[in-house]
């Protein structure tokens, strides 16, 4: 929320002021109070449409990726008649428009978006739909490459995204394309599609996930173990028993018993490798499957061509060990995917709903908004909703990360996936399946994979050069020494095959995404939503944290602490006046004053001509008489003498401030006595009066969060600088700053000043995280290196605008967030450089004779894949408690 000079002023107040200044119609303008922008400006005399007849439409505008872009699009759309609310979301590239179907159409809106210079990727008129495929065998970058190559051959596919870390493929396709043709293309690349779901499918289509087969009991695993058995039998026969019996002749080349065992082992273990290699060749993909297939075939072919060459053992070893490596890679990737599946599994499959006077059990997907569900103790809440009956404690840890259950009673909000601990609850469903907070979290965590870090992009670029380069090196190693120096063909041919094994960049490529997925899902389980690897990485490298005061360091629950009547007025007079002035304000200060006045029985007054004056206060006519409420600076500008004010009903705390130096008994010097004292206590002072007289003052305070000081200290322990930003006056800001122990503070900031303050901090520190409420602080959050929203659970706007969202209203999660992000950045660096170092060492050892096929597969491929995955999974052990 934005605060100005001792008086907090909401964005809506600012917008109201600007609107009044520009059009002069005061109450004739309808303002979106939450976003602080013109929503549907209807001047007096114009016909105002009945918004109950409005429809809503969403448009995919991917190029709308900054506030300036959003402003251009919104401005263009608003030129149409019948436009209501326009909500551009730059983080998702989506524009939602409320419009009157009688006055405009979605085609008109699409045209206005395109006239602003932005392509519309999807719209209500678009024939584009989305198909999500589950492809569990696609677990590495080379696998994804083959799938992508296959998808490019299907006409009508407009876009696709492969996600190896979750084993899913998301395809955008026109209505003319059948899902079966897409599935056939993926399976034609050599990967089984185990389930699919279309966004327009009724009931979700084939979305039921079968029980996942254990990777160690899969068909490929069985073939691998059999292959290993033949390899072991060959070794025993050749070296333990010394049986060199010739049992077959093929192409005039004799084959001994051990060689036959090796050949059978290579055939069984290499079946899946050769199959995948075939698909790689068909899709023109130079990946590990193609390289391993080439190596196995080359070894067997060389053995059959030359009687003096026997590389059956190498072929069998390569087939067996590479199959083991693939199984290990699949297993390690499954561990990463499980962290996301745990989030998906939080929501129950069924719900007990009251229909026609009876309780019936239905699938969660069949719940509709307005249904009343019954949740007994120990059950998971099936949907976002509001408690209509019952009392209980609810464990919200799956969503917010809060360790202590939260008491819920009638009227309280609850979230899908949370657990009812005590009494039975009846809950009215407020969000349909798929639109609840948990679903949005899961969706955002999945989408976060598309937000690639700079390191991930570098790795992908590097790997595109690495593999072809290593293939050239492998060919050179196999040919140059025998041709140029007369070296042994067999020895250097094996060295060449070994270099082909090292040409696979799998461990190197997955080193970053597995770390990102592990870090993001670990954060989500602890109530922190990180919307992409780039934000995770950026948070780990910030040097300073800027904290908004109200609602971040303080609870954001303002209460009236002092009411001082002046100049012959009573406390009731002051409250009546203050209530009338603030009743139209949606600002927390105004709400606190109105709540206090109502609690004390203050009567209503006729209000007209309300106007918000940004950064200063408000003005309105009460019973036809102009009145003002605002900060001391505002009243000084109005010409009031704050050094001489008459107090009538002084309370005990102010008795010692009554001056007898003035001719008139009971005179207060507000400037030097009362206002400074209240501000030094961290209170905000609001003066109330007419054009010619101050009627009194009201002091409002916001309680500090109990863990605010500890949080700031823990951030200091990490070596971070902490700065507080506030619109409050210097004295109040200083009091709060001293209480929490921040390094510095900026006071008296208008909304644009907060943006400037963040820019100045970036110039000073390099990278800065800004923490606010995600709504009123949106401009400053967008300006910072990382924008962090507090208390985002159930708040669509905060989830959309922030880079990172703390789902609970809990500032103590900040140190955990930095620790996790910093550790994730370190893990990513470790994985990248370790992968490169191991590959380099093995490559150097190959021509020296120290590294053979077995070591190259076990250390360079399987070992590093397990290593980088295991290192990434360590992030799950970091928790707020630690």
Active-site residues, by number, are 548
CA distance 447 to 443: 6
- Cα 826 to Cα 260, 453, 850, distances in angstroms: 49, 14, 31
Q: How many residues does the chain have?
A: 882
Token code pair at residue 125 = 């008129």
CA distance 686 to 679: 11
The answer for residues whose C-beta is within 8 angstroms of residue 763's C-beta and 6 or more apart is none
- Cα 703 to Cα 631, 723, 736, 808, distances in angstroms: 20, 19, 10, 18
CB 879 within 8 A of CB 531: no
Q: Given CA atoms 519, 524, 530, 531 in this order, what sign does their dihedral have?
A: positive
Token code pair at residue 553 = 């360091």
CA distance 255 to 81: 85
DSSP helix/strand/coil, 221: helix
CB 281 within 8 A of CB 290: yes
Token code pair at residue 291 = 């390289």
> For the purposes of burial, counting CB atoms within 10 Å of the CB of 268, is it exposed (0-12), middle (13-18) or buried (19 or more)?
buried
Strands of the sheet with 83-89, listed across from one edge: 55-60, 94-99, 83-89
Secondary structure of the chain: what % helix, strand, coil (to 5)? 45, 20, 30
Q: How many CB atoms lie within 10 A of CB 623?
A: 11
Max Cα distance, the chain (Å): 128
Strands 413-414 and 385-389: antiparallel
**Which of 736, 743, 747, 739 minimizes the C-alpha distance to 715?**
743
Q: Given CA atoms 792, 795, 796, 798 in this order, what sign does their dihedral have?
A: negative
**Which of 517, 518, 449, 510 minimizes the C-alpha distance to 862?**
510
> For the purposes of burial, counting CB atoms within 10 Å of the CB of 621, is it exposed (0-12), middle (13-18) or buried (19 or more)?
middle
DSSP 213: P
- Cα 599 to Cα 169, 224, 317, 575, distances in angstroms: 58, 77, 83, 11
Q: What are phi and psi of 422, to 5 degrees?
A: -120, -100
**Angle value at C-alpha 271, between 269 and 273, nearest 5 degrees:** 90
**Which of 185, 186, 178, 204 minimizes the C-alpha distance to 135?**
186
CA distance 433 to 418: 15
- Cα 380 to Cα 95, 279, 425, 430, distances in angstroms: 34, 45, 11, 16
CA distance 793 to 42: 34
Q: Given CA atoms 44, 46, 51, 56 in this order, what sign does their dihedral have?
A: negative
Q: Which helix (H) or strand (E) holds 607?
A: strand 607-613
> For the purposes of burial, counting CB atoms within 10 Å of the CB of 669, is it exposed (0-12), middle (13-18) or buried (19 or more)?
middle
CA distance 630 to 685: 8
Token code pair at residue 811 = 């500032």
Q: What are phi and psi of 626, to 5 degrees?
A: -60, 130
């Amino acid at each position: 929320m934005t605060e100005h000079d001792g008086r907090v002023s909401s964005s809506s107040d600012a917008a109201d002021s600007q609107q009044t200044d520009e059009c002069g119609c005061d109450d004739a303008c309808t303002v979106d109070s939450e976003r602080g922008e013109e929503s549907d400006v209807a001047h007096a005399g114009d016909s105002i449409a009945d918004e109950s007849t409005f429809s809503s439409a969403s448009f995919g505008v991917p190029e709308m990726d900054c506030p300036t872009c959003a402003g251009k699009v919104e401005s263009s759309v608003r030129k149409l008649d019948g436009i209501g609310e326009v909500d551009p979301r730059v983080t998702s590239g989506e524009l939602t428009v409320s419009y009157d179907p009688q006055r405009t159409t979605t085609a008109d809106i699409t045209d206005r978006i395109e006239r602003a210079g932005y392509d519309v990727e999807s719209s209500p008129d678009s024939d584009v739909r989305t198909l999500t495929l589950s492809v569990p065998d696609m677990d590495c970058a080379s696998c994804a490459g083959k799938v992508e190559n296959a998808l490019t051959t299907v006409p009508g596919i407009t876009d696709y995204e492969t996600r190896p870390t979750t084993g899913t493929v998301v395809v955008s396709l026109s209505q003319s394309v059948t899902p079966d043709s897409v599935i056939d293309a993926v399976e034609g690349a050599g990967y089984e599609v185990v389930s699919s779901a279309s966004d327009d499918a009724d009931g979700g289509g084939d979305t039921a996930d079968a029980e996942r087969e254990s990777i160690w009991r899969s068909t490929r695993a069985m073939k691998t173990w059999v292959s290993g058995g033949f390899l072991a039998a060959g070794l025993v026969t050749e070296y333990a028993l010394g049986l060199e019996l010739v049992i077959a002749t093929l192409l005039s080349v004799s084959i001994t018993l051990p060689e036959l065992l090796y050949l059978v082992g290579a055939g069984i273990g290499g079946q899946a490798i050769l199959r995948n290699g075939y698909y790689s060749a068909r899709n023109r993909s130079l990946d590990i499957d193609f390289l391993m297939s080439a190596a196995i075939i080359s070894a067997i072919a060389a053995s059959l061509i030359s009687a003096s060459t026997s590389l059956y053992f190498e072929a069998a070893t390569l087939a067996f060990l590479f199959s083991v490596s693939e199984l290990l890679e699949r297993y390690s990737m499954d561990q990463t995917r499980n962290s996301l599946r745990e989030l998906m599994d939080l929501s129950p499959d069924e719900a007990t709903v009251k229909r026609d006077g009876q309780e019936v059990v239905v699938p969660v997907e069949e719940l509709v908004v307005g249904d009343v569900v019954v949740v007994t103790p120990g059950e998971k809440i099936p949907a976002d909703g509001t408690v209509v009956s019952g009392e209980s404690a609810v464990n919200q840890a799956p969503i917010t990360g809060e360790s202590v259950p939260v008491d819920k009673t009638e009227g309280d909000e609850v979230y899908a996936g949370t657990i009812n601990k005590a009494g039975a609850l009846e809950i009215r469903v407020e969000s349909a399946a798929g639109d609840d907070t948990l679903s949005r979290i899961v969706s955002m965590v999945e989408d976060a994979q598309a937000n690639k870090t700079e390191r991930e992009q570098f790795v992908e670029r590097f790997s595109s050069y690495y593999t072809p380069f290593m293939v050239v090196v492998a060919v050179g190693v196999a040919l140059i020494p025998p041709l140029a120096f007369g070296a042994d063909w067999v020895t250097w041919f094996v060295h060449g095959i070994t270099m082909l094994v090292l040409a696979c960049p799998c461990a190197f490529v997955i080193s970053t995404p597995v770390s990102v997925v592990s870090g993001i899902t670990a954060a989500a389980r602890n109530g922190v939503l990180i919307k992409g690897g780039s934000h995770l990485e950026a948070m780990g490298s910030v040097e300073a944290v800027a904290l908004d005061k109200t609602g971040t360091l303080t609870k954001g629950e303002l209460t009236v602490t002092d009411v001082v009547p002046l100049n012959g007025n009573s406390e009731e007079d002051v409250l009546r006046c203050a209530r009338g002035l603030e009743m139209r304000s949606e600002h927390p200060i105004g709400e606190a004053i109105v709540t206090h006045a109502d609690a004390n029985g203050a009567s209503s007054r006729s209000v007209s001509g309300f106007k918000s004056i940004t950064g200063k206060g408000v003005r309105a006519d009460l019973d036809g008489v102009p009145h003002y409420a605002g900060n001391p600076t505002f009243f000084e500008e109005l010409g009031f003498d704050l050094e001489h004010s008459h107090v009538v009903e002084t309370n005990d705390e102010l008795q010692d401030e009554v001056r007898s130096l003035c001719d008139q008994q009971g005179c207060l010097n507000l400037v030097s006595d009362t206002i400074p004292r209240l501000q030094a206590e961290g209170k905000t002072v609001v003066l109330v009066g007419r054009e010619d007289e101050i009627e009194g003052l009201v002091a409002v305070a916001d309680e500090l969060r109990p863990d605010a000081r500890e949080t700031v200290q823990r951030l200091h322990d990490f070596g971070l600088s902490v700065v507080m930003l506030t619109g409050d006056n210097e004295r109040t800001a200083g009091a709060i700053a001293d209480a929490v122990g921040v390094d510095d503070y900026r006071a008296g900031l208008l909304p644009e000043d907060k943006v400037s303050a963040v820019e100045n901090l970036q110039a000073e520190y390099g990278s800065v995280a800004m923490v606010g409420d995600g709504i009123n602080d949106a401009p400053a959050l967008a300006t910072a290196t990382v924008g962090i929203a507090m208390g985002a659970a159930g708040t669509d706007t905060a989830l959309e605008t922030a880079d990172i969202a703390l789902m609970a209203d809990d500032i103590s999660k900040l140190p955990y967030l930095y620790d996790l992000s910093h550790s994730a950045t370190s893990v990513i660096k470790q994985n990248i450089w370790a992968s490169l170092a191991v590959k380099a060492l093995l490559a150097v050892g190959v021509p020296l004779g120290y590294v053979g096929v077995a070591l190259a597969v076990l250390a360079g491929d399987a070992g590093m894949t397990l290593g980088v995955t295991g290192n990434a999974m360590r992030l799950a052990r970091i928790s707020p408690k630690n």
